[in-house]
Amino acid sequence: MRIQTGQGSIPLIILIGIWSISALNALPGLAVSPILGKLSVIFPQSTELDIQMLSSLPSLLIIPFIILSGKLNEKVNTIILLQSGLVIFALSGVLYLLSNKMWQLIAVSALMGVGSGLIVPLSTGLISKFFIGPYRTEQFGLSSAITNVTLVLATIVTGYLAEINWHLPFAVYLLPVVSIVLSFYLKNNMEQEKKKIPTRSEMNLQEDETSVIQGKFGVDIKKLVQIMLFYGLSTYLVIIVSFNLPFLMKEYKFNSGNSGLMISLFFLAIMAPGFFLNQIVGLLKKKTKFYSMLSIAVGMALIVVTRTEWLIGLGCILAGIGYGIIQPIAYDKTTRTAIPRKVTLALAFVMSMNYLAILLCPFIIDFFQSMLHVKSQQFAFIFNMCIAIAAAVWAYMKQDSFLFNDKL
């Protein structure tokens, strides 16, 4: 079976290989979450800093290695770079299962951050290599959906495995083995496909894609920075659902199972738009980001103003849907800021903003809470709701600009 790309077709096995890489983007740090509460018991000599490093170190190291991967991709064969990252990632999974000391777990977390950072931009880079136009937009949507489906399923699996043995959740880090196998199909087919499929630079490109080639160093830096900032802001706005909702639900006298359900709804909602991205963008056109930000703002408002479980759940869904539209569109828009050879590097910069926002979110909230002398768990949602409303107004006023005009 062959899949249409907008510039020919590719075997289904290549697309499955790309999807398998997208699935891995959700895994770093995931296996640690269900055992965080047990680590002080498992390792009584460990400090709070040790536990924080175990959960945050992968994201911290992913950021520079995403950029490094994007840069290396200009000179190193994509498949070689991909396989190197996958091997490091899979090796970290094996070492996690064998580790019995906190310092070993921390060291392996650093190794996993390196491997994950190398492969993160390559999944989107491969999509931009094979697909163009609406086909590319559709694949970015599916890639985002697959990442979030994996996140939800892996969260459930790791939580169950943690009840059996604290080592078992780390087994999810062996999934790169599947991608390693599929990467050989990619390797065997890419050269053959290159002979059949002309590169984008050899085709009659759409007008909005040719204009950016004039950018310095092959990248329109101004447009790229705009996408980076907006994507980073969007990630920051919604990630508080994952970080702060459990504490808010506790303040509302709900049990931890309720907050877990809400967070699952949030990630499922992020997944959903990816399956219908072309239809959504085709309907909303220049107002796509305006309605997405509005959805996030309304979601935050529902979480804050009500203590009714189903309305909080609806708020999580609306916030997730808004972000689920913005994420793949940001990737798709990024491909129009660079010449083909620089696209993966441009995507690397944009994708690094996701991890940067995750790292900075708690510090941003703590800073403004301290400055305003506010201790309520509702503050983070009210604060981010106000920012989302301002961003929605901005998106509406600038709907004809490059950043916000998302019509296909």
Residue-level length of the chain = 408
Pair (15, 92) in one structural domain: yes
User: Could you read off the pLDDT of 120-154 as tens digits, one per residue?
Assistant: 999 899 999 889 989 999 999 999 999 988 888 88
Pair (190, 225) in one structural domain: no
Residue 65 lies in a domain: yes
CATH code, 158:
1.20.1250.20
Residue 305 lies in a domain: yes
Choose the final residue of a domain: 197, 230, 260: 197
Structural domain boundaries, residue 168? 2-197
CA distances from 93 to 109, 147, 164, 335, 352 (A): 9, 19, 18, 32, 22
Alpha helix (H) ranges present in 27-101? 36-42, 48-72, 78-98
What the block records as the tokens of 364 is 């941003």
Q: How far apart are CA 31 and CA 313, in angstroms?
A: 25
More confident residue, 21 or 374: 21
Exposed, middle or buried, 367 (CB in 10 Å: 0-12/13-18/19+)? exposed
E strand or H helix that includes residue 183: helix 176-196
Residue 210 lies in a domain: no
More confident residue, 202 or 251: 251
pLDDT at res. 253: 77
pLDDT band at 200 (very low <50, low <70, confident <90, very high): very low
Is the pTM above the cut of 0.75?
A: yes
Residue 230 lies in a domain: yes
Q: Find, among 296, 303, 297, 302, the residue nearest to 248 by Cα.
A: 303
Residue 160 lies in a domain: yes
pLDDT at res. 232: 96
Phi, psi values for residue 99, rounded to 5°: -80, 140
Mean pLDDT, rounded, of the chain? 87
- For the segment 177-199, the average pLDDT, to the nearest whole number, is 75
Pair (226, 116) in one structural domain: no
Residue 204 lies in a domain: no
The secondary structure of 151-170 as a DSSP string is: HHHHHHHHHHHHHH-TTGGG
pLDDT band at 203 (very low <50, low <70, confident <90, very high): very low
Choose the final residue of a domain: 197, 227, 259: 197
Residue 211 lies in a domain: no
Choose the final residue of a domain: 197, 225, 241: 197
Contact by Cβ (8 Å): 248, 104 = no
User: Could you read off the pLDDT of 35-84 as tens digits, one per residue?
Assistant: 776 777 888 887 777 777 887 888 889 999 999 999 999 888 889 999 99
**Number of domains the chain is built from:** 2
Residue 295 lies in a domain: yes
Contact by Cβ (8 Å): 255, 340 = no
Pair (171, 228) in one structural domain: no
Helix (H, G, I), strand (E, B) or coil at 11: strand
